Structure 1
Amino acid sequence: MSHQNPNPSLWSGRKSETIEYWHQATISVNDLKVDNNEETPKVGILGYAGEEGVKRNQGRLGTAEAPNAIRKNLGTLAFHLPEKSRIFDYGDVTTQNGDLESSHELITETVFNLLETKHFPILLGGGHDLALAHGRGVYKYLAPKNQKLGIINLDAHFDLRPTLDGKGHSGSPFLQLAQENPHAFQYLCLGIQRSVNPKSLFATADKVGAKWMVMEDFRMNNWEVIQEKILWFLDSVNKVYLTVDMDGFASAFAPGVSAPSPMGFRPEFAFKVFELLASSKKLISLDVVEMNPSFDHDQATARLAARCAEYVARKVLGKV
């Protein structure tokens, strides 16, 4: 079985008589029994405790421990979602015996079920191969509705590398999604660093019709241009799946990642992008990936990943 039930003890923090913190609003759900109460605004948390994709991509191992590290920090955050909203923790999908593909199938089905039951899914990773499974679930949900999906990736890497002997990995998810959805693939990657993306990947990005902004241009003093590019992209799609690779942040803020870089973006700038996306009311799903507790300092990266999840949920559900 590639699913582990949630550990309620991870959700702890300050005590109060009313719900004031995330740990008090979070309900642990066993056996992926998805809540189907459509009247309650809700977040569905699913961890991806897997690093087979990172291993295949020759990355630093340790990402399998990320979901619980992020949960611990999420639980202590103040709760500012609508009063009746709830957070459901559906546990972790793991990878058994290197069978990445089976764990991906379970993630895809779970994401589809979460969207069908009016959750805002927040997936915690784990390698960025998670995006293949996550994206498949969102495409499956939107297909009968004839709605266009846009994928926005805050990342230092395109993750458009070819598969290895037909097998996916943490560097290939968006090429695989492009190949599976050749007429519906809309992809915007923000924060691309030329130093870690060879010319061949820029050529691949052109081939699949991807849009991007390199790190040199992805800065606060260029906000008007960035905002225009994002708004143009938003106008071309019906719904947006946002994926945040923690290695896109400068390593001063996110040291605990698989591929750190000193030249990434700053948190306050990323959060400005989150706010713009949430204000479009098109944001349908989120994942935070490539967090690696083995290399974290004072839980800095886990805290930042938790803040990303909390901020996006608050802006999407709370409208505040």
Structure 2
Amino acid sequence: MNPLHQNPDTSNWYGRKSTEIEYWHQATISVNDLKFDTSAGNPKVGILGYAGEEGVKRNQGRLGTAAAPNSIRNMMGSLAFHLPQNCQVFDYGDVITSNEDLESSHQLISETVTKLLETKHLPILFGGGHDLAYAHAKGIYDYLKPSGKKLGIINMDSHFDLRPLVNGKGHSGSPFLQLAQEYGADFNYLCLGVQRSVNPKSLFATAEKTNSQWMVMEDFRLNNWEVIQEKILWFLDSMDQIYLSVDMDGFSSAFAPGVSAPSPMGFRPEFAFKVFELISKSQKVISMDVVELNPNFDQDNCTARLAARCAEYIARKVFS
């Protein structure tokens, strides 16, 4: 057993009892030691937690994200299960960080994501710091490399997360810069909901240099839907597969107070879910994550509930 992996705890999945499978806690099967289900035919979801906050610490954020995966599981278990009847859901536990060795955690996450895709799962990752995106995307790139398929990354976030490394090391603010540096022309990035107040001019310059695309929060609003839809559809049409990352700090802190970097001016849930539906309808979403939940600052689990709803909704739309 890998010391950086923790087996799932079935007690984290709970909810209303039913004689049939009607809720996520009933549909979810806990699997130990990363023994992936290799059965063919039926659709599958593979849940993996990232119980880590070293990247947040390096980025001077508020600590507490290590508790996020179980907090999301607790809220997701009671949600009604609307995936196809033959769809199987597997919880593969959490990747942790030991002795500040973020890089080893990232390596295990990348390897696990690749294996999940090879065994025909839809990976859904719960974080944890947004440094998860670097490891998550690397796993997808490794999987797609033999096919030559073009990967597009869509990040719903108030931050570009294109910050420079700290002392040569990655952190929760640098994942997409690391990917841009590593994959060059194969790095295709669209960031939705960028807020100028938390992204200095230098980051907009970095976004230009890395050929990133984005929409600032002032334009990422319902009254501008036709323009937003056109930009997203153009990006979707130019890609073969999509990795969707949802940073909970992209939401307004009125709906998501429990994050590492709260913002009062983020997007509203009903608008975000409209975007999720548009992206999911493309049938190109290959993997997804929800990140930056910080239960230490949550209120009545409202941010964890919203994170769980994001994961459930996207999975439901992907399989519909």
Q: Which residue of 4, 13, 17 corresponds with 1:11?
A: 13
Q: Which residue of 263, 266, 282 corresponds with 1:261?
A: 263
AA aligned to 1:38 is A
Shift of 1:39: 1.1
1:199 aligns with 2:201: yes
Shift of 1:274: 0.6
1:36 aligns with 2:6: no
Distance in structure 1 (CA, Å) of the matches to 2:169 and 2:12: 34
Distance in structure 2 (CA, Å) of the matches to 1:144 and 1:203: 33
Shift of 1:166: 1.1
Q: Which residue of 179, 185, 188 corresponds with 1:186?
A: 188
Shift of 1:279: 0.5
Q: Deviations over 1:61-113 (max 9, x none)?
A: 00000000000011000000000111100000000000000000000000000
- 1:208 is matched with 210
Shift of 1:130: 0.1
Shift of 1:183: 1.4
1:294 aligns with 2:296: yes
Distance in structure 1 (CA, Å) of the matches to 2:70 and 2:259: 15
- 2:152 is matched with 150
- 1:174 is matched with 176
Distance in structure 1 (CA, Å) of the matches to 2:26 and 2:149: 35
Tell me, what secondary structure is at the counterpart of 2:185?
Answer: coil
How many residue pairs get matched? 318
Distance in structure 1 (CA, Å) of the matches to 2:43 and 2:80: 17
Shift of 1:12: 1.0
Distance in structure 1 (CA, Å) of the matches to 2:119 and 2:275: 27
Tell me, what secondary structure is at the counterpart of 1:183?
Answer: helix
AA aligned to 1:79 is F
Q: Deviations over 1:236-265 (max 9, x none)?
A: 110000000000000000000000000000
Shift of 1:290: 0.2
- 2:87 is matched with 85
- 1:72 is matched with 74
Distance in structure 2 (CA, Å) of the matches to 1:138 and 1:196: 29
Tell me, what secondary structure is at the counterpart of 1:254?
Answer: coil
Tell me, what secondary structure is at the counterpart of 1:27?
Answer: strand
- 1:95 is matched with 97
Which structure 1 residue ranges, 5 or more long, are not aligned?
none
Distance in structure 2 (CA, Å) of the matches to 1:53 and 1:262: 23
Shift of 1:293: 0.2
- 2:130 is matched with 128
Tell me, what secondary structure is at the counterpart of 1:127?
Answer: coil
Shift of 1:235: 1.1
Distance in structure 1 (CA, Å) of the matches to 2:38 and 2:164: 38
1:308 aligns with 2:310: yes
Distance in structure 1 (CA, Å) of the matches to 2:8 and 2:42: 21
Distance in structure 1 (CA, Å) of the matches to 2:18 and 2:170: 46
Distance in structure 2 (CA, Å) of the matches to 1:97 and 1:312: 34
Q: Deviations over 1:262-307 (max 9, x none)?
A: 0000001110111011110001100000000000000000000000
AA aligned to 2:210 is V
- 1:223 is matched with 225
Distance in structure 2 (CA, Å) of the matches to 1:282 and 1:86: 20
AA aligned to 1:108 is S
Q: Deviations over 1:104-158 (max 9, x none)?
A: 0000000000001110000000000000000000011111101000000000000
1:59 aligns with 2:61: yes
AA aligned to 2:106 is H
Distance in structure 2 (CA, Å) of the matches to 1:135 and 1:26: 25
